[in-house]
Amino acid sequence: MTPRRERPSVTVVVLAAAGLLFLALPVAGLLWRAPWSSAWDHVTSPSAGTALRVSLLVSTGATVLAAVLGLPLAWLLARHDFRGRRLVRAAALVPLVLPPVVGGVALLLAFGRRGLAGRLLADWFGVTLPFTAAGAAVAGAFVALPFLVLTAEAGFRAVDRELEDAARTLGAGRWTAFRRVTLPLAAPSLVAGLVLGWARALGEFGATITFAGNSPGRTTTVPLEVFLALQAGDAGAAVTLSLVLLVVSVAVLVLLRDRWLPRP
Amino acid sequence: MRTATALGFLGLLVAAPACGTGGEDGVTLRVSAAASLTDAFTELAARFEQRHPDVDVELNFGPSPALVQQVLDGAPVDVLATADRRTMAAAREAGAVEEPHVVATNTLALAVEEGNPHGLGGVADLRRPGLVVVTCAPEVPCGRMAAALIRAAGGGIDVDSQEEDVKAVAARVAFGEADVGVVYATDVRPGDGRLDALDPGPAAAGIEARYPVATTTASAHAGEAGEWMDFLSSDEAADVLTGLGFGRP
């Protein structure tokens, strides 16, 4: 689309500048108030190190879980027309609009010790999810799932069926055709979905603290550590850890710069 | 017609701010207090307002360190009440509060589900494998006290979650997600319906919370804040506090 030759109105420019400022000021605030002299000490302190390790472990686990649960769902939505398809897609997007703390409460009601499925997990397998790293991963998977389903569905839909059909006529089975033709072609979208989901799980707070609680070394992720540092009045540690998350988020943005939204 | 509507709006605009300040020349006294003082201060505020009809007490409860940080950040708080002297000392050092006075004390208790289904007897039983134990986070006063209790009992207790304040700990047990929580004796009232309180045992001897209360130096209502402080030292307030399970300093 060629750019318009007419310049934008002043009003629009002013309002857009206000919008940009609204987004930029908080980030600038973080950079300005960062205790640069003690930042290294904060980042390398045992509690920060543990929180970073837990965050990495939990986010990666959450992404894997979301992929396992979300990819088959995305495939069904992309390739098959069935009754209630719109409802299923809406259900997959619920975590996107649900307030995270509400998500945490809902997870407790489903997978907590007294929960619908939780009590079965406890009685049959002796497994409890709250207060464990696995529980934190479940909370992360819950919020990351919509990202995976959305991008994967778009990715699968964009693959040219004729190429898959060609593979099938040449003797490839369903799985081989998927593995050798569909997957490589949908890969960019899938990778974008995985990275987005991972970043979302990394930043999750409300659902994690409600469902998985706060257990240093097990469920205390970086966002929880920031919250506790604030509660304790340690603004320096809070700001430093926030900066770490900011750097990671910017890195994700740069990584996905042309693949941000799936093209319809 | 349109003039009348406009005047009506203007009248509302003028009257609206007055509605939030306890009456015509009313004063809003903002009190920030530790979470464990919720029931006590709510009751005391109601009684204070009865005695001082022109004062509207606005209460703000939360973890003590966070409340101090709010005051240091410039929040318009008139009175600050924390759950330990250390947190109050931080505010005092920063010059944010006047001389504090301790108005009550509190001891620790173990909160369990009603009926004590696991048959726990004291803090030593918290070592039982598979038991889900929650305490406050060590950054807040009740967390420091819980850690002291565990140390005094010989350690070796696996804490499953460290909550941001004592009400959250009680909620975990009440919700059924935890088996036992280390709370204050005042957090479980007899007839609570969902929780029972257990005496932690001899290890808890000497572990006591002291609640200092002070007026802020930046307060715009020093007179009313002073009246609130006087009220807290009165016999009526002492009766309310001891009735809820607090100790006298």
pLDDT interval class at A262 (50, 70, 90): very low
A231 closest CB neighbour out of B90, B161, B164: B164
Which token pair is B26?
């009313």
In chain B, residues with a C-beta closer than 8 Å to the C-beta of A221 are: none
Higher pLDDT pick, B26 / B56: B56
Greatest mean pLDDT among A53-62, A223-232, B199-208? A53-62
The verdict on B137 touching A (C-beta cutoff 8 Å) is yes
Element (H, E) at A25: helix A10-33
Q: What is the pLDDT of residue A1?
A: 64
Which token pair is B132?
């889900």
pLDDT interval class at B9 (50, 70, 90): low
Q: In 10 A of CB B116, how many CB atoms?
A: 14
A114 closest CB neighbour out of B72, B140, B176: B176
B162 and B137 Cβ atoms separated by less than 8 Å: yes
Across the interface, whether the CB atoms of B162 and A131 are under 8 A apart is answered: no
B189 and B112 Cβ atoms separated by less than 8 Å: no
In chain A, residues with a C-beta closer than 8 Å to the C-beta of B69 are: 230, 233, 235
Across the interface, whether the CB atoms of A113 and B172 are under 8 A apart is answered: no
Across the interface, whether the CB atoms of B69 and A230 are under 8 A apart is answered: yes
Across the interface, whether the CB atoms of A233 and B68 are under 8 A apart is answered: yes
Q: What is the pLDDT of residue B21?
A: 46
Q: Which residues, at least 6 apart from B72, have a Cβ–Cβ distance to it below 8 Å?
A: A233, B91, B94, B96
Q: How far apart are CA A140 and CA A198, in angstroms?
A: 8
Across all residues in chain A, what is the average pLDDT?
A: 90
Indicate if the pLDDT at residue A237 is higher than 60.
yes
pLDDT tens-digit series, residues A143-181:
999 999 999 999 999 998 899 899 989 988 888 988 899
Q: How far apart are CA A29 and CA A242, in angstroms?
A: 11
Across the interface, whether the CB atoms of B69 and A113 are under 8 A apart is answered: no
Q: What is the pLDDT of residue B182?
A: 95
Q: State how beta strands B133-136 and B180-184 pair.
A: parallel
Q: What is the pLDDT of residue B14?
A: 58
Indicate if the pLDDT at residue A111 is higher than 90.
yes
The verdict on B159 touching A (C-beta cutoff 8 Å) is yes
Q: What is the pLDDT of residue B6?
A: 58
A174 and A101 Cβ atoms separated by less than 8 Å: no
Which token pair is B217?
């130096």
- The ipTM estimated for the assembled molecules is 0.79
CA angle B196, B201, B202 (to 5 degrees): 160
Across the interface, whether the CB atoms of B159 and A215 are under 8 A apart is answered: yes
The single residue listed with the structure tokens 């307002």 is B49
Burial class of residue A93 in the structure, from the number of CB atoms within 10 Å of its CB (0-12 exposed, 13-18 middle, 19+ buried): middle
Q: For A104, list phi and psi in degrees, rounded to 5.
A: -60, -45
Greatest mean pLDDT among A38-42, A60-64, A169-173? A60-64
Q: What is the pLDDT of residue A259?
A: 57
Kindly provide the b/e burial profile for residues B208-227, where b requires at least 16 CB atoms within 10 angstroms of the residue's own CB.
Answer: ebbbbbbbbeebebeebbeb
* 3-state SS, one letter per residue, for B141-194: HHHHHHHHHHHHCCCCCCCCEEECCHHHHHHHHHHCCCCEEEEEHHHCCCCCCC
